[in-house]
Each structure stands twice: as C-alpha cells, then as structure tokens.
Structure 1
Amino acid sequence: MLIRLTGMLLISIQTWLITHGVESPDPDQVVYVDTDLDGVVGKAMILECGSTVPDGYIWGFTQSGTDTSKAVVYDFGKGPKLQNLSQSLGDIQVISGSASLSIEHLLLAAEGLYTCQAFYDMDQVAKLTYYYIRLRVLVPVSKPYILLSDASPAEGSSAWLRCDLENGTGPLYFLWEHETNSGLVNTIGQGSSNIFNMTVVNHNNTG
C-alpha cells in the first residue's frame, strides 16, 4: 500500500532524491513494519518511526472509515514541517533527534492509520521503510448509573434494571451485585449484558 500525498509533497520527494544524488528505491527492497497501538482520549502517547533518524520522512494519516492519507508532518532535511491536520489529532510534536511523534492530549479524531514513510541514503541508493501504525483511541468508562423499570415493584411481578453510562469503549463487562439491608453483598449476575432481569420479584430482592 502506497501513501497518497499532495502533488507538492510528491515533488518534494523527487527533489530530495535528486539533490542527494540518490536513485529511487527498488520496490523489492522496500520494508514494511506493522504495529497496532491503543491510546486513551486526553492522554499522551508516542508513535515511533524506526530506531535511527532517516534522511527524510513523511508522516501520513488515514482517518478510520476513509481511504485517503493526508500529510501530518514531513522533513526533507530542513527540519520538521507540521501540517494543519495535526491540530485535529492532539498536541503533536516531533521528538528531538528522531522522526517519532509525541501526541499530547490525544483526541478521538486521532483514531486511524498512521504511516511514516522513511528514506535512508544507503550508498547512493535509497532505502525506503514504511512504518504502519493502526491506532485505536479508547474512551474511559464513565461512572455508571442504574435505571429501573419500577422502583417499587409488587411481590410476584417482574422488573428489570439497566446499567447505563455516558462514555466507554467496548467491549464492556458488567458485574451485578446486590447489597441487602444488613450489608451483605452477593454477585447476582455478570457478562456483556447491561440489563438484569428479575422475572419474579420477592422480598429477598430488597436492597
């Protein structure tokens, strides 16, 4: 998979190769590195682009649900140039002495595929490595609250309780506990469902 870039950046890539007297890389010598990462909304994380500093690089981003990659930052030997897109992903900076990205205050819109296209000048022949990072941005689970079909059901009737929350990335796991008036706590249900059904209510359900 090749990164789709604007015409200006494609010209810059060619200019970089020409000014460095470097031949275009042999497609058979292109290296691909795949990584899956999880980040958390509002937190910080690092996206790595190799262990050594390339002679030139481009970071691209493809938002989830789309197939077009847009440039986030590039450096063809004159220092990193952040693009406007970076502002919608979080507080992005290139880590000094590397081509890796530091993202502070990660935003939900930052979820997607990141591609670092790194060029290395290897004896007049370009070595090209694609670092693919699939980033999933997780939303912390907010404080849950319970809704009841009937706050005071009659004995012998049926009722349900539903555990709702405003935010939270799935899959979610629910643990239902019942505390009696005497303070005894028992687990009465667990699993992926946020609904607990009481088919026949009796006085033992009080609590």
Structure 2
Amino acid sequence: MAVLWSFTPLGSLVLQPVAVTNGASSRVESGAKALGVVSLRNSSLVIEELQEGARGHFLCQTLLVSGGQVHTTYLYLTLAVLGEAPSLVVASLQLTYRLLLPVSKPRVHLSDSSPTEGVSVVATCAVREGTEPLTFSWHHQTPRGPEEVLVGLSEPKLQLDPVNRTHLGWYRCSASNAVNQLSSDGAFLDVIYGPDKPVITVEPLGFTEDGFWASEKEEVTLSCLAASNPPSHYVWFRDDSQVHIGPTYIIASASRTHTGLYTCLAHNSHLDTHTQTAVQLTIYWEPPRSPTCWTTATVGDQFIMLSCEWPGGEPPAMLSWLDRHQQSLGYPAPPNVTISRLTYRRQRREVQVQWATYGPGNLTGFLVQQRASVPSSEAGAWEVAASDIEPETRDRRLGGLDPGVLYAFRILAMNHHTAGHPSEVKTPGTETAAATSSSNPVQESTDAPVNVTITVTATPGVQ
C-alpha cells in the first residue's frame, strides 16, 4: 500500500507534492519546508513549527493492490489559521489518515485432517490482512447433507474435543470487518472410526428360535454391514471355514449342507481393527418318502388307534387328521386315568371304585365301563356302568351287580370331542388286570370289523 500527501495553497489550483511512503520507506519533498518541519510517521503527516504558508488544502491519496486490482481512496483536509497575529501561528500539526483494509480471503487450517474418533481437533480460520475488529463464522457440510451454520461460534478457532463421526465433512469459515466479508474454500475433515458390530440380514426372511431358515433349493442372500471409515472389508465364514469375501454372500440353490453358523468379519484396514457377528442358518427340507399309516386295536375293544409317521425332514413333519368331511380331528385329548382302588360292598352287589388322573389334557367328565369277566378266552362286551361323572369326581359306588358273576371294570376320561385311553382293567378285590389294556395294542380282534375312513395330511413343520 502506498500513501501520497500533497498540498494546495489557498487561492491556488496547483497541487504540490509533500511526502510519500510505501510502508517500507518514505520521502519528504524539498518544497514541503514552506509548511514547516515535515515528517512521516507510518502514514501520518506531521508538521512541526507550523508556518503561515501551511494554510490551504491537504490531500491524502492511497493506492492498494488487492485481488489483482488497484484500489484508490482520497481524503481532503483544510487547514485554517485563526487569529491575525502571525506571531501566534506557531504550532505542531499531525494529520492522520486511518486506512480501513478489507479482509483477505480466509483459509481453513486443520490441526489433523484425518483424526481417529475420540481425539481433539482444532480448525483455524486464517486471514492474512484486514482492519480489525474481525468477525468470524463457521459452516459445516456432511458429504450427503446440506451446509449448516454452526451457531454461537464467532472465534477464529473451532475446537472439536473429542471429535466423532458426526464431525466428518467440509468446514468453511467466513471473515468480515467494516469493509467487506469473504468466505474460505472448504477443508475436509475425514474422521476415522469403526468398524461397528456388523448387522446381518437374510433374504428371504424366515425366523427360528436361534436364527434364520430357508427352504431347500431356494436362493438365499446374506448381507453384512458394519459402519466404518474407511469402509469395512468383509469375510464370511461357515462353521469356521471361509466361504466368501465381500459384504454379500449369495447361496444360489440352498441345500441341507448349507445349514450352519455364518460369521461376518468386518475389518478396518486403516486402524487394523476387527468386529464380527454370527447367525445360525437352517435349511429346511422335506422327508424323502411319503407318510406311512396303520391301525391297531385292543383285544375285544371297540376302540382302535390310528397311527401315521413321516420320518426325516427338517424340521420334523407335523401330521393332522381329517374326517370324511375334511374337518380336523386334532382335538385336545383327555388325560390318562388309573384305578387306585376297587372293592366289593353289600355281599358283592356293589363295588366302590376310586381313580386318579395323570398327564395333561382337556377334561369334562368320566365314563365307567363294566363287563362280565369269566376265566376263559372270551369276555363279555363292555357296558356303561356310570356316565356324566363330574370332572372333579374321583370315586363312585356302583350297584345292581350279580354276586355270582365276576366283573371287570375300567374308566375313561372324556371331553366334548373324544374319549381318552381306557385305564387298566381291574376286578374287585384284586390288583391283577383281567385283560390286556390299550397300552399294549395288538392286531384287530376277531370281533365284527369296524369300518373307518381317515385322511392324513402331512406338511413339513415350517415355522
């Protein structure tokens, strides 16, 4: 910057040079002696032993080169000496011109441009020149977000302590004074962090108690994501054996051999840190053969047991029974019953029977059956001795017996839909079973055949 002082006497239009300075050196013109003892202090013109010839107009001219352009400013001052006595016109005069310099373009300096999450970082807004006071403001822009002003920050230094991943992005500062305002270019703060614990997703999505499931021959996609900067490198393992490198592992056609524990390992190459997550994947498959069904019955009973099985498969198949109207027969069964005491009364014309239940089941009442039991291979048909017995009852007295006949008894638990398994068969006063119970089934007896129509549907137990 250059400052030139000049003078025009009263009544004259001729501009006379007085002094000039460029900040590094200065010079006072010889003709300036007519004004007094002239000198320069920085950009101020100082006149001592002021002469009457100093009456007139002073001009201060500044030349400033900024941004490739020359800027010029002017200041006019008029000096008048009051009073008529020349002997009183002796004084010292200092003419000061304060030049307001515009701020230069700021520059952001980061103490660490690639810090690790958790350390301290200082951003400085540096301005080469500009007349104070200066005012600063800070702006932050994430890589995928809009620029935002950091409210409440007006200092040239911005301290991030501790720095975290939300601080990542571009930082720009603005500086202003009474003359102008300029903004810096952006400086990128690249915060290093991670990897976080990976998150694994499985498609198609099917949950089990301990992980995920998919059907055999289905395409299965396992994806892994762990927040990290720089981005994570991924490696997939199945039961400790490496199977893939990359964030996405695709099983084109799943088979039962793909069942296992899948682990995703995430690696941050900059920090050399690792994290991992594991999930269990189970491949479901159907049994190789069709279901097999059969019937069994107790000797002399009118009850039969229908059985089916469909071995193999994962998970095990669930079987359901349908009647001829395609209605489900899968009702809850009553609990099992056992006879705890059976004794004669009134000269063998009555019996007192007591029983107990065990195991779960739906219960609405009991049914007591009796039949004549003779020491031969043939036994009488079962008859109802008592029904509509309340579910809370556990004993019953039965009368009308013939003292000359040996009777056998059994008890069944009932609900609204079906009867449970018959209890063991007992005779009064003995603990010996008179006939084989239904817990020891054999092939159907030689009694009249019972025609039964059943339908079995079998499906894999997909959850």
TM-score in terms of structure 1 length: 0.44
| Structure in which a larger fraction of residues adopt helix | 1
TM-score in terms of structure 2 length: 0.22
Larger radius of gyration: 2
